[in-house]
Amino acid sequence: YPGSKDEQLKSLEKAGMLYRTRTADKGKRLRKNWTCVWTVLEGDALIFFKDSKHSSSSSAKYPSVLSSPEFRVNLHGASLSWAHKDRSSRKNVLELKTRDGSEYLIQHDLDSIASMWHNAISNRIGKLGID
């Protein structure tokens, strides 16, 4: 019902195209592989979809061509910050670290869009944290 926690979380859902690379998997460093991915912030997760070909023009939150997400990142206990300049030569890079030691860089050339994701994800992490 309106005003409930579920309702509040739903109103904060975001989706869009982002550049993303994973830089660590449970503490193990990985070689960067920047990919443009359809990204959805939903509930306690940030979901990255593999196939972006048909997603940008779709108004659907989940592009219908996609069967399963590539990565579902659990935001419980995660931390998000603007990446230090030495982490990437790209602009507007966000660094997301999960509780299990995985790390992702997410990036968008437009300051406004990068800031929107920064605010939305930090907000979400904050809301999950006080449960």
Q: What is the DSSP letter of 15?
A: E
- In the complex with ligand I3P, which residue's Cβ is closer, 21 or 63? 21
Q: Is 85 in the site for ligand I3P (CB under 6 A)?
A: no
Residue ranges in 56-107 assigned as alpha helix (H): none
Q: Is 88 in the site for ligand I3P (CB under 6 A)?
A: yes
Grouping H, G, I as helix, E, B as strand and the rest as coil, residue 88 is coil
Residue ranges in the chain assigned as alpha helix (H): 5-11, 111-129
Q: Is 32 in the site for ligand I3P (CB under 6 A)?
A: yes
Q: Taking Cα atoms as reference points, which of 127, 89, 128 lies closest to residue 105? A: 89
Q: What are the angstrom distances between the C-alpha of 114 and each of 29, 30, 38, 48, 82?
A: 24, 23, 14, 16, 10
Q: Which residue has the tokens 């989940």?
A: 62
Q: Are 86 and 93 in contact (CB under 8 A)?
A: no
Considering only residues 31, 84, 112, 131, which one is a binding residue for ligand I3P as defined by CB under 6 A?
Answer: 31
Considering only residues 8, 10, 34, 110, which one is a binding residue for ligand I3P as defined by CB under 6 A?
Answer: 34
Q: Is 82 in the site for ligand I3P (CB under 6 A)?
A: no
Mark the segment that binds ligand I3P (CB under 6 A) among 8-16, 26-34, 41-49, 67-75: 26-34
- In the complex with ligand I3P, which residue's Cβ is closer, 22 or 124? 22
CB of 41 to ligand I3P, least distance (A): 22
Q: What residues line the site for ligand I3P (CB under 6 A)?
A: 31-32, 34, 88-90
